[in-house]
A and B are shown apart, each in its own frame.
Chain A
Amino acid sequence: MDVVNTQVKGLGSEGKAPPFFDGFTKMMLIIMIVMELAIFASAKYMSSHKMAGGGTDDLVNNLASATKVNGEHHPFVELPGDSELSAFSVANFFAGVIVGYNWLRLFGAKPQQGRKEDN
């Protein structure tokens, strides 16, 4: 079952360029924009109401530390400045590549199509 190869062969043999703005891409972009807008609106609301917007993990970690006599907590690494953003960007980029690669292998072709090519 080599779905990736059959997909690529199929596109090449028909002599058509792969669609870059098809239904799937549109749907993903719509979901992404809706989520980004929701995050933006939530953050704006919190900012305008002077809410801290911190993480609950940190809040509870601080609360837990306060119950100890010599309470100090610390993450394993503390990323300064924008380096946390860099770490997230790199991780999410490669996460996207891995998910996309496996998505194509699994959902790139209908089962009938895959079996026909296999035969």
Chain B
Amino acid sequence: MHIEDGILSAGACVGWYAATAVFVIPGVYEIKKRIRENLSYKPFLAMVGVAVFVISAMHLPVPVTGSCSHPCGTALAAIIIGPFATAVVSTIVLFFQAIFFGHGGITTVGANTFSMGICGGLSGWAAWKALRALNCPIWLAAGVAGFAGDLITYLAAAFELALSLHGQVPLVKQWMIFFMGYGPTQLPLAIGEALFTSAVLLAMMNRRPDLLPQVFAKKAVAQVPLREQA
């Protein structure tokens, strides 16, 4: 999903920057609000930011298709730090990946953030919330969130490309052509991301559920903010 410079038109780049800003600006407020509510939020924000940076740069070989791709980690991030904060974190991550690693481009930070940080994060978070509301176990809700977040990121990236480049070809057809470039390699990685998301959330639940009272609301040991505990 790291779309490089020179692929999208100038108008599309500006449009995706604007669409991303709609989520990044409330993200800044979400971060400020949650920092006041939960003393452990800042360390989580730092850890999650670094984790998304590493995970989304980690190209893993998939022998079934003979190519490599990377997971995203934004579904897990959205569950832990919130979906709008994930948009902020993803913008920073993708900017640094572009200037240091040559992953993606500067003009496409908006489009790449929209697919990975917003579509991936929001879909994972929505899946988690919906399944937890239906009393699904944490491992299942987290697994579905990781899987959905990963695949929807690539569906969104393919859509961004198709929207700009479909020309005379029907949009949906061009969208699926681009997605088929990602999909077969991404499917096993999405399963891996589902397992990873489940494992991390289960470990956090077993170790310190009190640190994230909003995430583990139903089983948290202490559901009040840490500031009030102290």
Interface residues, chain A, with chain B CB atoms under 8 Å away:
1, 39, 41-43, 45-46, 49, 51-57, 59-61, 63-65, 67-68, 71-79, 84, 87-88, 91-92, 95, 98-99, 102-103, 105-107, 110-111, 115, 118
Across-interface contacts of B7 in A (CB, < 8 A):
61, 64-65, 68, 71, 73
The residue from A68, A73, A95 contacting B4, defined by CB atoms under 8 A apart: A73
CB pair B100–A91 under 8 Å, yes or no, is yes
CB pair B106–A76 under 8 Å, yes or no, is yes
Chain A, interface SS category? helix
The residue from A1, A63, A78, A92 contacting B226, defined by CB atoms under 8 A apart: A1
Across-interface contacts of B165 in A (CB, < 8 A):
64, 67-68
Across-interface contacts of B3 in A (CB, < 8 A):
57, 61, 64
CB pair B178–A54 under 8 Å, yes or no, is no
Q: Does B134 contact A (CB under 8 A)?
A: no
Q: Contact size class for B?
A: 35 or more
B85 CB, nearest partner CB in chain A, Å: 16
Chain A minimum-CB-distance residue to B184: A56
Across-interface contacts of A72 in B (CB, < 8 A):
6
Interface residues, chain B, with chain A CB atoms under 8 Å away:
1-7, 39-40, 43-44, 46-47, 50-51, 53-54, 57, 59-63, 66-70, 98-106, 157-158, 161, 165, 167, 174, 177-178, 181-182, 185-186, 207-208, 210-211, 221-222, 226, 229-230
CB pair B185–A56 under 8 Å, yes or no, is yes
* Between-chain CB contacts (< 8 Å), 16 pairs: A39-B60, A42-B62, A46-B61, A49-B66, A52-B66, A55-B59, A55-B70, A73-B4, A76-B99, A77-B99, A77-B100, A87-B100, A95-B51, A95-B53, A98-B46, A111-B222
